[in-house]
Every structure is written in C-alpha cells, then in structure tokens.
Amino acid sequence: MDQDNTNMQQEPVKNLRGSGKKVGKFLVAVIIFAAGWLVGNGRISLNTASDVAEQVALNAPANLSTDGLQEIYDKLKANYDGDIDTEKLLDGLKKGAVAAVGDTYTEYLSPDETKEFNSDLNGTFEGIGAELSKKDNFVVIVAPIKGAPAEKAGVQPQDIIVEIDGEPAADITVSEAVKRIRGEKGTTVKLKLIRDGEAVDVSIVRDTIDIPSVEWSIDGDIGTIIISRFGDDTVSLTQKAAKEFASKNIKKVILDLRGDPGGLLDAAVGVANVWLPEGTTILEEKRGGETVKTFTAPNSPILEGVKTVVLINEGSASASEIVAGALRDNKAATLMGEKSFGKGSVQQLLDLKNGGSLKVTIARWYTPAGKNIDKEGLEPDQKVERTVDDIKAGRDPQLDAAKAALK
C-alpha cells in the first residue's frame, strides 16, 4: 500500500483444493486486479508524489550508462529482418529496467495501462471479473468477483492460468495477463486452468464489470457492511452506512472484507476511523526498519464501542488487511473466517511525462501492534471455513458464524 492514494497487488498461491474441500490459501503479497487488474493493486495502496519525501535508494549511482543499450539498438537496426516499432521497443526497455529490480509490485505502466489501472480502481471495466496475482512463473486467480462472468463460468480461487486463448501463459506478468484476458463486452476468452493438479478448460464471455465499493443492510439488530474495494467513495459510503446504523440504534455490526483486494490507503484509514477514536494508531510505514510515517484516525468515530466482527479470507488483501489489523489491535473488533492474503508493502504511483506511470514499492506497513503481515496474512480470531461446495450451494457458514457470535 502507499501513503495516500493506493491500489493493491497480489502474488503467490498454493494448490487449489477439490470441490468438497476448503478454498485454498495464498501465501503472498498481492496486487489485485479485478477482471484482469484490480491492484498492485492490489490492489496496493498508492501514494502520490507530493505525499512522500523523495528517497534515494542505497548503492544506486546518480546516473545509468546507456551505452550498452545504444549498441544493442544499433546492431538490432542494422541486422534485424523485419520492422522495428520504436514505441514498443522503448516501452519494453522501460518495463525490463523496472522489472530488473526484482520486486513483484514495482512496475512500469504504459499510458494505456495507467488508464486501465485508474478505471479498475474506480470499479468499472470490461473483462471477466477476476482478481489476479502471480505465483512463481504463473498468474493465478485470487478470487472471481461475485456475479461476474468468471464466477458464472466456474472459475475458482487459486486456479492457475496456464493458457489464454490457446497461447501459453507461463512467465508473463499480471499486466500482460490482464491485457490478454480483457476485451470488449460480448467477446469470449478461453482459459486453460490447473486445479488440484488437473487441467480445466473454461470459456468466458466478457462483460462490463461495475463494482460498488460499499453495500450495507440491516437484519434485525445486526448491521452488515460489505466493502469490495477501497476507492474514492468508500469512506463516504461507509460513513453513510454507519450513520444509518447509529440512527436506528444498531449495536452489532459485521464488516465483510472477504475477497476485497484493497485500494487506496487513505480510504483504509478513513474506514478504520469509523470505529477508532481520533488519534488512534491505524498503521505505521517503515523503510529500512525505521518508521517514516504513522497514520492515525483523523476524526471522531461513528461506531465506537459497537460490537463488531470482521470477516476475512484469502482474498482479503492490502487495504482490507490494514483495516482488519487496526480494528483488532485496537480491540474494536474480532476477526473471523480464514487467513488473509498477506500484502504488507506500500507502493507509490508516480506520473511520467509520456502519460505512463511508475508503481514503486516505497515501504512496508505494520499494524498498530508492530506486525508486518507480508506473505503471512492475518490469522482470524475464530477460524471458519467456507468450502467450494458451500459456495455452489449458496451456503455461507462464515456469515452465519458472525451473526451467531454477535447474538
């Protein structure tokens, strides 16, 4: 995540379990992409350039010599049997240079990719509706978005993508997978997936994906808030739900963060503030082991003291984990469900002159209790599994357990 405006990202995965078994876990850092992209972005959390003081990487020279690159270009131009697209060549050079850093979440985005990234953060795009991450050499499914084409086609969490439209999908980035999977509404993409060691072929008709960031409801004396992503409107919508609960004297709340890959860091801080008093620590950012910034609740809370259960699972990442960790460490809520994704780094999105952007890891974030959950995730206070069979049958034992705990 980053400091102010952020998105999330994702990374590894284990093997998918069979239909009667638990939906598998991810031990990774995540950038989430809905339909193809939702974060480094993780979904990640992004900072704007003005929000963070410029920092200089250790052992990095002031300038890089490009003599070798010019030599390669000269020889390529003189000897290549074909046309050379210089724009693509430059984009490739930029991507390769950034990728050489060796960090999953540090990435060069072209102008088109930057536009897609921002539209994903706003919750509207055309694609299949699935959160993607990277595990070893393969792109994997973190979770299909509820009601989206991917879910309807039978795509499941931790499915490993090995082919896209008949072409191999090994050793490609999440961004490349997104490009190949996305497309106009009404068109079809064919994926070959590995699930439980077996190959599964699915054909998915793309559609327009429009995800509301917050939904809420009241059932008896329990209010439920579902946050699917952390965008520009998430804090205001969560506050609206909380005020409605308060006006109706609701004293028991379920905050459902399952399958939420994250988003903006300031949105995570604002949501946590709905429960936490002004001045309460929500997270710390550290760089090189030293604290560079502490985020605290900025305003008076609406639901302070309201008994709250937070639902998490392997698809809960980044901003979701920040909120869940902050509420638990400050004893404002208990966590229920399954271990979260494990995205404990912060990315900053830097604008480039060509309209592209550089997404770069600038720090690690820590819960109020001082824990960094990168590749470990948050363990729930009460573990409740939801199997693939539960999902297919429309059962939700995690939500049922939350309601029972509150009653």
At 9-40, the pLDDT tens digits run 332 222 222 223 333 322 222 222 222 223 33
The residue annotated as part of the active site, out of 213, 228, 318, 320, is 318
Does the pTM of the predicted model rise above 0.85? no
The residue annotated as part of the active site, out of 120, 207, 329, 374, is 329
Q: Which domains does the chain have, with CATH numbers?
A: 211-344+370-406 (3.90.226.10)
At 70-88, the pLDDT tens digits run 899 999 999 999 999 999 9
pLDDT in the model for residue 256: 98
When comparing pLDDT for 334 and 289, which is higher? 334
The residue annotated as part of the active site, out of 179, 192, 252, 343, is 343
At 236-293, the pLDDT tens digits run 999 999 999 999 999 999 999 998 888 899 999 999 999 999 999 999 999 988 999 9
Contact of 8 with 263, CB cutoff 8 Å:
yes
Instruction: Tell me which amino acid residue 277 is.
Output: P
For the ranges 88-97, 334-343, 345-354, 383-392, which has the lowest average pLDDT? Answer: 383-392
357 belongs to the catalytic site: no
Instruction: Tell me which amino acid residue 62 is.
Output: A
For the ranges 5-9, 223-227, 228-232, which has the lowest average pLDDT? Answer: 5-9
266 belongs to the catalytic site: no
pLDDT in the model for residue 393: 79
Percent of the chain, pLDDT > 70? 85
Going 84 to 87 to 90 to 91, the CA torsion angle's sign is negative
329 belongs to the catalytic site: yes
Distance CA 204, CA 191 (A): 8
Distance CA 28, CA 394 (A): 28
Q: What integer best gives the mean pLDDT of the chain? A: 84
- pLDDT band for position 323 (50/70/90)? very high
